Structure 1
Amino acid sequence: MAPLPPPRTGDHSTADLTGVIRARRWQLWRPRLIGLGIVAVVITLAAVAWFSPVLALEKVNVSGGELVDHDKVSDFVLDADGGTPLPQVRTGEVEDSVLEQFPKAAEAAVHYAGPRTLKIEITDRTPVLAVEGASGYRLYDGQAVDLGVVDEAPKDLTVLGSDDDPDRATVAAVVRFMGSLRPELREQLSTIEAEDKNSLQGRLDTGDHQATVVFGDSSNPSLKVRTAVQLASAGRTEIDVSVPSVPVTD
């Protein structure tokens, strides 16, 4: 029997090289394929979450603020978005709609609070003036938004007193005047009166001194009140700062 021919070295090397190339290709494509698989899974889960009734909005928790009825806010949002999958609920749009529907709120921060729940944190508008009337004290903020009627004016809030109900222009002028003051100045005006929009006067109380002050119209409120405070602190009790650069005192 004739001996078998030895293996050809070239064929063996070619097979080994082919295997190495295949292994390297697999090493190159494996993480890509795994990444594509993960992306596919994420997209699938996102699609399920986007359309799934399992994540439908069912509850709205409302907190903060005292001027807005929490139950009414919750009912309003549920009427608009209840049953909608939570990923489809845009928090910014909910905030805008709540502020439009409930103008007594200055802010309405909306957050996801679970698979079926929204949380809304209400911040009240800040009253700067209480208008005394037959039914109580009507509150206004610095933008003349009506904040409703309360039985007693909040502590340190300036009260607009009048024998008759002031007209809208007069109230607007007083609100502009009060809304432009820093809180520490505003709190020193215990009362303010106005026959019309150009005839504002009030009672100044600095804690150590009191004075009656004529302000005139609603222009330059900060300058007028600062000037009046300085004169009251010097012992003046009757002050006219309708022209703040030329104050008149008694």
Structure 2
Amino acid sequence: MSMVDRLAERDAERRAMARTRFWRGAAWAVGGAAVAVAVGWLAFFSPLLALDPARVTVSGEGTTIDVGEVRDEIVPERGVPLPRLDTVALRERVLGLSGVKDVRIMRDWPRGLTVELTSREPVVAVPDGGAYALLDEDAVRVGTVASPTDVPVVSAPLSDDARSRAALFAALDVMAALPPGLAGKVASVTADTQDDVRTRLDDGTAVVWGSGDRLELKARVVTTLRKAEPDARVIDVSSPDLPVTR
């Protein structure tokens, strides 16, 4: 075989190998595209990942959230594949429900959701006409009752003017700062102004807190004085460095 023939043969082999690589690459590309289409269809359109409301778990409703209302917000999403489900919009709708302080929504593959609620729990009751408004720690109204039984009554103005809101928040600050052993003994709270918060305990003892400043120290002083002077009927810790009992 001449030199020219050998060069021609090698050139033909190179072209054949190039064609083989081309078609092999094309086959891989087509196969990859087909797989991508299949995966996309499975994720975004297949009923295999479609939300089933029966597989939704709701927790943390507390005493103020209607779980039925939460589920009513989820039912319209029935059949939507989980990858396409707009959990941000769903969260906003649930946050708009009464009693919901916060909510966390997580996809529970393949067809469910886990909904973790944080409820607004009443901590005080404030007289409102012939009834009582139940307020949480942020002074958000979470209900109305004829007669409160499980929370102390706060005698404070229930209006939106700055002075009234300041007095109400001062009372809530005092309640939030109380240790459990003391908080459970509070029967009523008064707050004519933000600097004159007072509580009455279930044994009749009156505690004068003054403002909402230095509440942690004030609570410790009250606890100490109740042990040191159990017969004291009034404990004034408005100035916690110089408390007064009588």
TM-score if structure 1 supplies the norm length? 0.68
Letter in 2 for 1:160: V
1:212 aligns with 2:206: yes
CA contact (8 A) 2:126 2:158 kept: no
- Deviation, structure 1 residue 194: 0.6
Please state whether the residue corresponding to 1:143 is helix, strand or coil.
Answer: coil
Give the structure with higher Rg (CA): 1
- Deviation, structure 1 residue 69: 1.0
Name structure 2 gaps, 5 residues minimum: none
Q: 2:140 aligns to what?
A: 145
Q: 1:107 aligns to what?
A: 102
Letter in 2 for 1:245: D
Q: 1:3 aligns to what?
A: none
1:234 aligns with 2:228: yes
- Deviation, structure 1 residue 10: 5.8
In 1, the alpha carbon distance for the partners of 2:180 and 2:17 equals 77
1:76 aligns with 2:76: no
Q: 1:128 aligns to what?
A: 123
In 1, the alpha carbon distance for the partners of 2:26 and 2:182 equals 66
1:202 aligns with 2:199: yes
1:160 aligns with 2:153: yes
TM-score if structure 2 supplies the norm length? 0.69
CA contact (8 A) 2:125 2:148 kept: no
Please state whether the residue corresponding to 1:244 is helix, strand or coil.
Answer: coil
Please state whether the residue corresponding to 2:139 is helix, strand or coil.
Answer: coil
Q: Deviations over 1:72-92 (max 9, x none)?
A: 12223445x556554332212
Please state whether the residue corresponding to 1:226 is helix, strand or coil.
Answer: helix
Change (3 A) 1:13 1:74: same
Letter in 1 for 2:153: L
Map of 1:169-208 to 2, 5 A cutoff? 169=164, 170-179=167-176, 181=177, 184=180, 187=183, 189-194=185-190, 196-197=192-193, 198-203=195-200
The one of 80, 83, 90 equivalent to 1:87 is 83
Name structure 1 gaps, 5 residues minimum: 1-6
- Deviation, structure 1 residue 21: 7.0
- Deviation, structure 1 residue 120: 2.3
1:248 aligns with 2:241: no
- Identity percentage of aligned residues: 28
Change (3 A) 1:139 1:222: farther
Change (3 A) 1:11 1:78: same
Q: 2:94 aligns to what?
A: 98
In 1, the alpha carbon distance for the partners of 2:123 and 2:211 equals 18
- Deviation, structure 1 residue 52: 6.7
In 2, the alpha carbon distance for the partners of 1:219 and 1:137 equals 27
